[in-house]
Amino acid sequence: MQPSAVPELAHTHTRPIHWVATAAALAGVVAVSGFLQPDRATAAQHGTGIEAKGAPAATTPPDPARADFPLDCGPAKVVVQKKVSGDLDGDGRPETVAVVRCDAGSGTPPSGVYVLTASGASKARVVATLVDPKDRLSVKDLALRDATVTANLLGYSSPDVPSCCPDVDEDASWQWKNGAFVRSTPSAARSM
């Protein structure tokens, strides 16, 4: 081993006071870190049933039977044909999507597709219209997956097509984006 060319420095020798100072500093860091803990995790994924911070622990979806739909059926009653429920906007509370039409004796009455919400035991209320009955569309299928509503819609290529016999078949989907439901059409409309 070769001797050092640099003279030994006084501060390179450890003494008991150095170990005491190191131990005291380490104890201080451990003590302070015990008081500085992160907040509890509150994140929730869509569809897991785990509620976000501030949301009720167990929330039932809005019941379409307890809603007033913007549908004029005259003397006929309003019929809820299909419904799906889930958290569509990521707030930890479920919404319900309902397919509604008038109970007509014959023909194919147009459907409305509405998004419902409710707070507590209050009546369900319509917060969005995905399909307006004025568009003369009927809903064949309705589904909800990963906060996306999908539907198979039957419609008419012209006003001359009788309402008994829709001749257009199209798929559509809706997602909550930037404060509104945005519609997309996964595939082109097909004639039947």
* Gyration radius of the chain's alpha carbons: 32
pLDDT at 19: 72
Residue 169 has pLDDT above 90, yes or no: yes
On whether the CB atoms of residues 98 and 59 are closer than 8 A, the answer is no
Q: How confident is the model at residue 55 (pLDDT cuts 50, 70, 90)?
A: very low
Q: Please, what is the average pLDDT of the chain?
A: 79
Condensed to tens digits (0 to 9), the pLDDT of residues 109-159 reads: 899 999 999 866 678 899 999 999 999 999 999 999 999 999 999 999 998
pLDDT at 2: 59
pLDDT at 172: 95
Query: For strand 180-184 and strand 168-177, is the pairing parallel, antiparallel, or unpaired?
Result: antiparallel
- To the nearest whole percent, how much of the chain has pLDDT over 70? 72
- Min mean pLDDT across 31-35, 49-53, 136-140, 152-156 is at 49-53
The angle at the Cα of 117, spanning 128 to 126, to the nearest 5 degrees, equals: 40
Closest C-alpha to 142, from 72, 191, 86, 68? 86
Residue 4 has pLDDT above 80, yes or no: no
- At 113 the three-state DSSP class reads strand
Q: How confident is the model at residue 46 (pLDDT cuts 50, 70, 90)?
A: very low
Condensed to tens digits (0 to 9), the pLDDT of residues 63-76 reads: 998 899 998 888 88
Q: Looking at per-residue confidence, does 52 or 155 come out higher?
A: 155
